[in-house]
């Protein structure tokens, strides 16, 4: 049971009003709000020890370096990674996956091999592989999504085989909320010698992840969806594979020695972190992780499950509303996407905004899923986090009812 009053008091933005209404923020799958502790971590860095990291001999640089590398260690412990050297700082999930395609993918995937993805992928785990497939003559195969919002595991077993070069899949769908059985699928892939990449952008903020237990070789996520700042993300890489990878970008921090003719690379992970890193945001992300662990990810997930069940059950009472995603809430995160015939999601989103309610509308960077698999132009999406309350869900439901009446849907 969460202490919602205490938690909500930690988030200054929740006190603001939108027009005449108190803000109800239900767009957490797009980005989360930030607690005072994270904001203060950023301010503290810039006010007390702002400096570039590594190689500096003065006090500020050494303090900055210590905090920066401690943040990397915090992330490693959070994921149960074997060491902090397996954690590479990136800007976001998209950059992390591109790093894998341009380094490991270019070097190790060969013409004619299959890249197995799912029909529910975010564009970030689709478009980079499309580009690589075109340049290296690879085949893209897709694990289907069943009508209940779950992956077709039996078909997955037929797609993952000796010709599979890589399995890449989203852990939690940002449209359906489905939490995929990534450990089971990783075992299938490893059984045929294929590495596994997990897009954990939606899952890391809400459920406990153990990269060693999952058996993944790559795992990517963004800080801004888990109470951290924008512009900082993480790529975890299996240490054996990490040793096989060439740098993605070159120059600055990632070099060990440079002559006019040649250069050698720094130790892992700095080998993959060219130029001045995002020091402040890495440190603040560690503060966000501390906050989540203090509250407890299991507590957060259970709180979100209750909100999701409530929202879905109330939407289901409105016969005109078509909500998508699993009805088994044990395998679903706090995401509720839905469609109302004759009421465009953008019109609904605008109506709710006039009530101070923030949701997301569109295809959610998953066009093939929304348009081709679900057959929808777009959906409206409400997504929940630890600071949302049942009263806010009730306001959201009443807002949807009001929009249906207003637009005559």
Specify if 55 maps to a domain: yes
Quick check: bond before 94 cis, omega within 30? no
Asked if residue 281 lies in contact with residue 222, where contact means CB atoms within 8 angstroms, the answer is no
For residue 262, the tally of other CB atoms under 10 A from its CB is 7
Q: What is the CATH number of the domain that holds 167?
A: 3.40.640.10
pLDDT tens sequence across 172-182: 999 999 999 99
Give the whole-angstrom CA distance, residue 30 versus residue 365: 10
278 and 341 inside one domain: no
- Catalytic residue numbers read 365
∠284-88-299 over CA atoms, to 5°? 50
Is the pLDDT assigned to residue 254 strictly greater than 80?
A: no
Specify if 40 maps to a domain: no
CA distances from 365 to 2, 157, 259, 372 (A): 31, 27, 44, 13
Give helix then strand counts, H and E, for the chain.
15, 17
Strands 322-324 and 335-339 come out as: antiparallel
262 and 346 inside one domain: no
Is the pLDDT assigned to residue 22 strictly greater than 90?
A: yes
Mean pLDDT of the chain: 97
304 and 193 inside one domain: no
9 and 79 inside one domain: no
pLDDT at 255: 83
Domain edge (last residue) among 224, 259, 293: 293
pLDDT tens sequence across 314-331: 999 999 999 999 999 999
225 and 373 inside one domain: no
Place 306 in a pLDDT band, splitting at 50, 70 and 90: very high
Asked if residue 346 lies in contact with residue 320, where contact means CB atoms within 8 angstroms, the answer is no
197 and 218 inside one domain: yes
3-class secondary structure, 207: coil
Specify if 72 maps to a domain: yes
Place 258 in a pLDDT band, splitting at 50, 70 and 90: confident
Place 127 in a pLDDT band, splitting at 50, 70 and 90: very high
3-class secondary structure, 85: helix
Place 266 in a pLDDT band, splitting at 50, 70 and 90: confident
Residue 178 pairs with which residues in a beta bridge? Answer: 332
Specify if 33 maps to a domain: no
Secondary structure (DSSP) of 265-284: EPSTTGGG--SS--HHHHHH
Asked if residue 336 lies in contact with residue 29, where contact means CB atoms within 8 angstroms, the answer is no
Is the pLDDT assigned to residue 119 strictly greater than 90?
A: yes
197 and 279 inside one domain: yes
pLDDT tens sequence across 154-163: 999 999 999 9
Specify if 34 maps to a domain: no
15 and 65 inside one domain: no
Specify if 274 maps to a domain: yes
Q: What is the CATH number of the domain that holds 399?
A: 3.90.1150.10
Token digits of residue 327: 């009805």
Q: How many domains does the chain have?
A: 2
pLDDT at 194: 98
Domain edge (last residue) among 265, 293, 321: 293
Place 96 in a pLDDT band, splitting at 50, 70 and 90: very high
Domain edge (last residue) among 244, 261, 293: 293
Give the pLDDT mean for 253-267: 87
Taking the CA atoms of 119, 121, 124 and 125 in sequence, report the sign of the dihedral they define.
negative
pLDDT tens sequence across 189-212: 999 999 999 999 999 999 999 999
Give the whole-angstrom CA distance, residue 177 versus residue 290: 25
153 and 196 inside one domain: yes
Plot region of 255 (φ>0 → left; ψ -120 to 50 → alpha; else → beta):
beta
Specify if 38 maps to a domain: no
Is the pLDDT assigned to residue 391 strictly greater than 80?
A: yes
Domain residue limits at 145: 51-293
pLDDT tens sequence across 361-384: 999 999 999 999 999 999 999 999
Specify if 39 maps to a domain: no
Q: E strand or H helix at 19, and its extent? A: none
Taking the CA atoms of 161, 162, 163 and 168 in sequence, report the sign of the dihedral they define.
positive
289 and 306 inside one domain: no
b vs e for 24-55, b when ≥16 Cβ sit within 10 Å of the residue's Cβ? bbbbbbebbbbbeebbebbebbeeebeeebbe
Token digits of residue 387: 């600071």
How large a percentage of the chain has pLDDT more than 70? Answer: 100
Give the whole-angstrom CA distance, residue 163 versus residue 202: 29
275 and 395 inside one domain: no
Measured in whole angstroms, the distance separating CA 139 from the mean position of its chain's CA atoms is 25
222 and 107 inside one domain: yes
């Amino acid at each position: 049971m969460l202490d919602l009053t205490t938690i909500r008091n930690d988030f200054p933005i929740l006190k603001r009003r939108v027009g005449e209404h108190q803000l109800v923020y239900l767009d957490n799958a797009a980005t989360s709000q930030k607690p005072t502790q994270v904001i203060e971590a950023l301010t503290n860095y810039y006010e007390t020890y702002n400096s570039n990291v590594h190689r500096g001999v003065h006090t500020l640089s050494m303090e900055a370096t210590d905090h920066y590398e401690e943040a990397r260690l915090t992330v490693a412990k959070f994921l149960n990674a074997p060491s902090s050297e397996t954690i590479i700082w990136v800007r976001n999930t998209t950059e992390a996956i591109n790093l894998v395609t341009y380094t490991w993918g270019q070097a190790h995937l060969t013409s004619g091999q299959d890249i197995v993805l799912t029909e529910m992928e975010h564009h970030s785990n689709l478009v980079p592989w499309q580009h690589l497939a075109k340049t290296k003559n690879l085949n893209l195969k897709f694990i289907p999504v069943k009508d209940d919002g779950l992956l077709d595991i039996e078909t997955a077993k037929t797609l993952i085989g000796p010709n599979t070069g890589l399995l890449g899949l989203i852990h939690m769908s940002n449209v359906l909320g489905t939490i995929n059985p990534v450990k089971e699928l990783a075992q299938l892939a490893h059984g045929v010698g294929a590495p596994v990449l997990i897009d954990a952008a939606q899952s890391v903020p809400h459920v406990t992840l153990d990269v060693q237990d999952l058996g993944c070789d790559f795992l990517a996520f963004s800080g801004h969806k888990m109470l951290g700042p924008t512009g900082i993300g993480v790529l975890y890489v299996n240490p054996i594979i990490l040793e096989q990878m060439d740098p993605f970008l070159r120059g600055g921090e990632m070099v060990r020695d440079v002559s006019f003719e040649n250069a050698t690379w720094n130790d892992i992970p700095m080998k993959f972190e060219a130029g001045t890193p995002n020091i402040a945001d890495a440190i603040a992300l560690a503060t966000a992780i501390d906050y989540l662990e203090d509250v407890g990810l299991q507590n957060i997930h259970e709180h979100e499950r209750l909100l999701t069940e409530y929202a879905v059950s109330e939407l289901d009472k409105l016969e005109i509303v078509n909500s998508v995603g699993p009805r088994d809430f044990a395998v679903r995160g706090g995401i509720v996407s839905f469609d109302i015939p004759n009421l465009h999601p953008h019109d609904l989103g605008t109506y709710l905004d006039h009530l101070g309610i923030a949701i997301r509308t569109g295809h959610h960077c998953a066009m093939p899923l929304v348009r081709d698999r679900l057959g929808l132009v777009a959906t409206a999406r409400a997504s929940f986090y630890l600071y949302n309350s049942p009263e806010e869900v009730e306001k959201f439901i009443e807002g949807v009812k009001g929009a249906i009446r207003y637009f005559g849907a």
